[in-house]
A and B are shown apart, each in its own frame.
Chain A
Amino acid sequence: MLELVVFSSLNGVLYGMLLFLLASGLTLIFSMMGVLNFAHASFYMLGAYFGFQISRYIGFWPGLVVAPLLVGVIGALVERYGLRTVHKHGHVAELLFTFGLAFIVEELVQMVWGKIPVDYRIPGALNFSAFTLFDTTFPAYRMFMLLMSIGIFLGLLVLLTRTRVGLIIQAALTHPNIVGTLGHNVPLVFMMVFGVGCGLAALAGVIAGPALVTQPAMAASLGPILFVVVVVGGLGSLSGAFVASLLIGLIQTFAVALNISLADVMAHLGVTLTRESFGGDLWMATVAQVAPIIPYLLLVLVLIFRPHGLMGNRDT
């Protein structure tokens, strides 16, 4: 039991921090544009593929730096020459633009790297186990992912709250016109935020790529979870996105590890349920089996009971 708690907690925090690498950028970009960027997870996928490609030529570590930079530049260009023009035609146009972009990226990735997963490997230097507890080992690479994402989180926190640029960003999200009249180049700031947000997503892709599966469907499968995170946290709220990322990371990881069904719970209460009872398989399904829908259940509940999310305060 202790073993399950320790490992699920570590994995849950890790998954949550990775989600936050994406959710933080998505939240900042949402505050700026006023619409959700459907292509955000595509930049995560591009990060993984770029990282993979670079790792084949010059190794994993250069890819860790170069791939996010490249994707960040691509993101900045998309903002400057795509979104900024589309923005003039309203939110619906923007939304459709990001939607289209997500499909284009997926198609391009398939054309260049094929439909099957690529062989993105963990770097040799980290291919050992960090520690063993009750016969279960925790891989060093997972430890690296955890420390890396925590480090970036702290860096982001310092940047946003302790530096002049961070203050300009914070103020520009809510009062862009006034920040402009004080002499700050708000469009440039927004382009940089968009680029950095995409770069962070790419970084998550580079470090998650070798541990998970690098394939063309990875953006489409992560995207919905990401939206759950930012909506549950409260659209536009960074602290909300942080709490929701960890929450969903932990819930998902623990759920997968639990082999309890409703029938088991009812048995404790003295009620016997079998497959033949009314409801059938519903009683027999274990928590692990329904794990994938738990985030969406949370989304629905939050939308009903706390429409602004856990920490949000803005209308959409």
Chain B
Amino acid sequence: MLEVRDLHAFYGKSHILQGVDFRVGKGEIVSLLGRNGVGRSTTIKAIMGDVERRGSIQFKGREIGGLKPHQVAHCGLGYVPENRDIFPGLTVRENLILGMKSNQPGGRWSMEDMFTLFPRLRERADTAGGVLSGGEQQMLTICRTLMGDPDLVMIDEPTEGLAPKIVELVAGLFKEIRNRGVSILLVEQKLAIALDISERLYVMGHGRIVFEGAPRDVRENAAMRKEWLEV
């Protein structure tokens, strides 16, 4: 579904990604792991067209490496940024409306689905996003992207700084997303969650993919974990 080959990305003069290769299949959950600063967020941003990039990015058989972010989104790629970047001055409902690509409802998700999955969002539907708790903001950020009905959603560090109970909720949402036939590319710090829900995992180091395997391969390879993941 998503096939990235020899992806390079740049912030001005600094050359951050130096040839990244990976793929995500239809209906798959794939995790992108690595220590802070190795370029996981940059990889996602490069796919969205939010940073300067070179290389091949194929999505549903179409080359999207030259498209602008809004065009990439219209191809069916969803992006959930890190830091829970909701629109703080707009209400929860307005945030969700902005996730939709057109006025017409349709697609896999409705606002009602979101409110059923997270009753807390329904209670706060007319509250400004900026006053929600961290966990609520994280739900809202993911739901906002889902309202655009992506076929593959890239989620950047969704559980960072969340209480264990909320982390469980988020993990539950990932399963719901997969059940509706949406693929997930997940950037996740918490190894336990990534191993639990992913079909395959990639590990990044210094702007490249340094390991690829199933959850079992990661569990069994202590040397790799020590070199590339543990702090």
Q: Which residues of A contact B (CB under 8 A)?
A: 164, 167-168, 170-171, 174-175, 177-186
Q: How far is the CA of A171 from the CA of B95 in the complex (A)?
A: 9
Contact B73 A164 (CB under 8 A): no
B97 close to chain A: CB less than 8 A = yes
Specify which of A171, A177, A183, A184 is in contact with B87 (CB 8 Å cutoff).
Answer: A171
Report the interface size class on chain B: 20 to 34
Contact A170 B90 (CB under 8 A): yes
Q: In angstroms, how far is the closest chain A Cβ from the Cβ of B114?
A: 15
Contact A167 B68 (CB under 8 A): no
Digitize B77-105: 1 where CB-to-A-CB distance is under 8 Å, 0 elsewhere: 00101000101011000100111010100
Known: A164-B103, A184-B101. 16 other contacts (CB 8 A): A167-B94, A167-B97, A171-B98, A174-B89, A175-B85, A178-B85, A179-B98, A180-B69, A181-B69, A181-B70, A181-B72, A181-B73, A182-B99, A182-B101, A183-B70, A184-B70
Contact B68 A180 (CB under 8 A): yes
Chain A residues within 8 Å of B90, by CB = 167, 170-171
Contact B87 A181 (CB under 8 A): no
With A167-B98, A170-B87, A174-B89 known to touch, is A182 a contact of B144 (CB < 8 Å)?
yes
Chain B residues within 8 Å of A179, by CB = 98
Q: Across the two chains, which residue of chain B brings its CB closest to A178?
A: B85
Q: How far is the CA of A170 from the CA of B88 in the complex (A)?
A: 11
Chain A residues within 8 Å of B79, by CB = 181
Which residue among B48, B74, B79 has the maximum number of chain A CB atoms within 10 Å of its CB? Answer: B79
B137 close to chain A: CB less than 8 A = no
Chain A residues within 8 Å of B89, by CB = 170, 174
With A167-B90, A167-B94 known to touch, is A183 a contact of B103 (CB < 8 Å)?
no
B135 close to chain A: CB less than 8 A = no
Contact A185 B98 (CB under 8 A): no
Q: In angstroms, how far is the closest chain A Cβ from the Cβ of B182?
A: 16
Q: In angstroms, how far is the closest chain B Cβ from the Cβ of A231?
A: 22
Q: How far is the CA of A60 from the CA of B75 in the complex (A)?
A: 48
Q: How far is the CA of A193 from the CA of B101 in the complex (A)?
A: 19
30 A-B residue contacts at CB 8 Å? A164-B97, A164-B103, A167-B90, A167-B94, A167-B98, A168-B98, A170-B90, A171-B90, A171-B98, A174-B89, A175-B85, A175-B87, A177-B50, A178-B81, A179-B98, A180-B69, A180-B73, A181-B48, A181-B50, A181-B69, A181-B70, A182-B70, A182-B99, A182-B101, A182-B144, A183-B74, A183-B101, A183-B148, A184-B101, A186-B70
Contact A182 B50 (CB under 8 A): no
Chain B residues within 8 Å of A174, by CB = 87, 89
B145 close to chain A: CB less than 8 A = yes
Q: Across the two chains, which residue of chain B brings its CB closest to A188?
A: B70
Chain B residues within 8 Å of A186, by CB = 70
Q: In angstroms, how far is the closest chain B Cβ from the Cβ of A314?
A: 12
Q: How far is the CA of A21 from the CA of B52 in the complex (A)?
A: 39
Q: How far is the CA of A164 from the CA of B97 in the complex (A)?
A: 8
